[in-house]
Amino acid sequence: MAEVTAAMVAALRKATGAGMMDCKQALAENDGDMDAAKDWLRTKGLSGSSRAKAANDGAVEVIVEGNVGSLVELTAETDFVAKGAIFTDTVTKLARLAADEAKEEIAALHFEGGTVEEHITQLAAKLGENIGLGRVVVYETADGVIDGYKHVQNERGTIGVLVEIGGVDGGDAKAKEVAHDIALHVASAAPKYVRREDVPADVIEKERAVLVELTRNEGKPENALEKIVDGRMNGFYKENVLIDQAFVRDAKTTVGKLVEGLGKDATVRRFKRVKVGEEA
């Protein structure tokens, strides 16, 4: 059976307007198949897609305390609702809950006299919009540093980032500063992968095929084609791989060099970037 992730549940909830637990069950019953899960919800009379507007706006909150960091997205239809005090207060409380419980699956947790799911349903009714729990990310480390960043636009968080650096002392102020700088960088530069070896083979193959065709169409000599494509692949990595990217605050250095300055064992273990309105 395919694993049902919080991101899958959030995507189905966003597409159908159905409850979070119903979406989770629909995906479980249909081995993670999104289209089949949508049909399953319709047959059960649980889908609200025929009446629900797309929840393409919303807000994010980031909380980092000690060795735990949380990032929570709450979706809405309009920025008018998303920047309201009730909405932003709710997403902050949900991020606090996720951090305190160190859990990403928070829909069924106790919250405000009921569950998170029940509260969001009531909030949707109160505010008159399709509101849903979006992506929830929780990082916890026993031997590293976690930090985050929230970009605020139009009175609420629109981009949230969490970063974990390993191979450093959790109490190292310099490591904490670098982790925060990298979180800010991720918000701005939007890398897709931590390092080159994280890029899936099929993505590399597809990109290389495009570059080969492009280079041939430019009339470059066949015997130079491999070298030219290798150079252009390096450009692809510098654009998409975090440690290869030029640091936003100092283009003369890379994020990788920034991390190396923390010691030979320092490494970026993972990061997550959530932007309101984007699926990825």
Kindly report the CATH number assigned to the domain that includes residue 15: 1.10.8.10
Residues 13 and 113 in one domain: no
Residues 183 and 137 in one domain: yes
On whether residue 19 sits in a domain, the answer given is yes
Domain holding 65, by residue range, is: 57-193+255-275
The pLDDT value given to residue 9? 83
On whether residue 94 sits in a domain, the answer given is yes
Domain count, the chain: 2
The pLDDT value given to residue 50? 42
Residues 34 and 121 in one domain: no
**Smallest Cα–Cα separation from 163: which of 275, 276, 272?**
272
On whether residue 232 sits in a domain, the answer given is no
Residues 20 and 142 in one domain: no
The pLDDT value given to residue 21? 82
Residues 125 and 10 in one domain: no
The pLDDT value given to residue 52? 47
On whether residue 262 sits in a domain, the answer given is yes
The pLDDT value given to residue 106? 95
pTM score over 0.95: no
pLDDT, tens only, 213-231: 888 888 888 889 899 999 9
The pLDDT value given to residue 20? 78
Residues 102 and 164 in one domain: yes
Residues 21 and 125 in one domain: no
Concatenating the DSSP letter of every residue in the chain gives: -----HHHHHHHHHHH---HHHHHHHHHHTTT-HHHHHHHHHHTT---TTTPPP--EEEEEEEEETTEEEEEEEEES-HHHHTSHHHHHHHHHHHHHHHHHT-S--TTSEETTEEHHHHHHHHHHHHTS--EEEEEEEEE-SSEEEEEEEEEETTEEEEEEEEEEESS-TT-HHHHHHHHHHHHHHHHH--SBSSGGGS-HHHHHHHHHHHHHHHHHTT--GGGHHHHHHHHHHHHHHHHBGGGSEETTEEEEEHHHHHHTT-TT-EEEEEEEEETT---
Residues 86 and 115 in one domain: yes
On whether residue 243 sits in a domain, the answer given is no
Grouped pLDDT means (10 residues each) for the chain, 280 residues? 80 79 88 88 67 73 96 94 96 97 94 94 90 95 96 96 96 95 97 97 93 88 90 94 96 95 96 87
Residues 36 and 119 in one domain: no
Residues 109 and 172 in one domain: yes
Which CATH number belongs to the domain containing residue 160 in this structure?
Answer: 3.30.479.20
